[in-house]
Structures are given as C-alpha cells and as structure tokens.
C-alpha cells in the first residue's frame, strides 16, 4: 500500500492561476470585513442561502437566522460592549457576528485595538 501511495503525484501548479485569483478575492473580502465598513453581516449565511435557494425546503437541512432578527435581539436585550454574549447553538455564528459588529461600533471602531481585542477574546462565546 505504501508503494502505491508513493506513486500518487499532485500537480499543484496546474490550476495555480485560479488558486491565486481565489486567494486574492479572499484577501479583498478580508480587508472589507476587518474594517469600519463591515456591519456584522454573516457572510457564511449569505453564501449558504444563495447556494441553496433553489433546493426544496426538505433538502436544505440548515436554517440561518436572518440579519434583521440578530439585530433585533441585540437591541431588545439591551446588550452593550461591556456584556458577555453566549450563543448556545451558534451554528455559523450569526448572533455572535452581529453582536461583535455592534460592540466594535460602540467602542469607536477597529481603530480602538485594545477594546476590539477585549471584545473578540473575552465577550463572545459560542457552542455548537
């Protein structure tokens, strides 16, 4: 088996241009997310919903909390950047993502690096 496995060769450069283009897109998206322009959208949920919108309901299997609901929950619970947020069934992290966005805005944006680090390390907790 070891000899046969050794015969397997990967061609990493065959699609290198496509891989490089994909990485560049991810870098662009990352810059947008890690900025004051990002408003807490759950990117994973957006992609998932777009890719599954043509499936029947019985085929989808996952449900993502809509953005307006996560915003509503944050506001009606009176949560602020000094609070801890626990999402016991976090899935893709919609509630935590929205809470982080609001908290970062409350401390003045990403330029307040110490407060942002505190929020990311000490204020948001998720269980799946």
pTM, to two decimals: 0.62
Domain boundaries, the chain: 15-126
76 beta partners: none
Whose CA is closest to 74, among 52, 103, 116?
A: 103
As averages over each run of 10 residues, the pLDDT of the chain (128 residues) reads: 70 73 79 65 70 61 79 94 94 89 93 94 93
Q: According to the model, what pLDDT value does residue 64 have?
A: 74
Q: According to the model, what pLDDT value does residue 119 have?
A: 96
Q: According to the model, what pLDDT value does residue 25 have?
A: 84
Whose CA is closest to 104, among 88, 92, 119, 94?
A: 119
């Amino acid at each position: 088996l070891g000899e046969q496995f050794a015969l397997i060769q990967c061609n990493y450069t065959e699609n290198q241009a496509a891989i490089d283009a994909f990485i560049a897109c991810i870098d662009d998206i990352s810059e947008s997310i890690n900025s004051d322009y990002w408003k807490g959208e759950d990117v994973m949920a957006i992609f998932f919903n777009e890719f599954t919108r043509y499936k029947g309901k019985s085929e989808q299997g996952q449900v993502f909390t809509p953005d307006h609901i996560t915003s509503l929950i944050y506001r009606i619970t009176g949560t602020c950047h000094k609070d801890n947020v626990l999402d016991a069934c976090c899935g893709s992290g919609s509630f935590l993502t929205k809470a982080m966005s609001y908290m970062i805005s409350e401390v003045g944006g990403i330029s307040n690096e110490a407060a942002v680090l505190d929020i990311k390390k000490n204020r948001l907790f998720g269980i799946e």
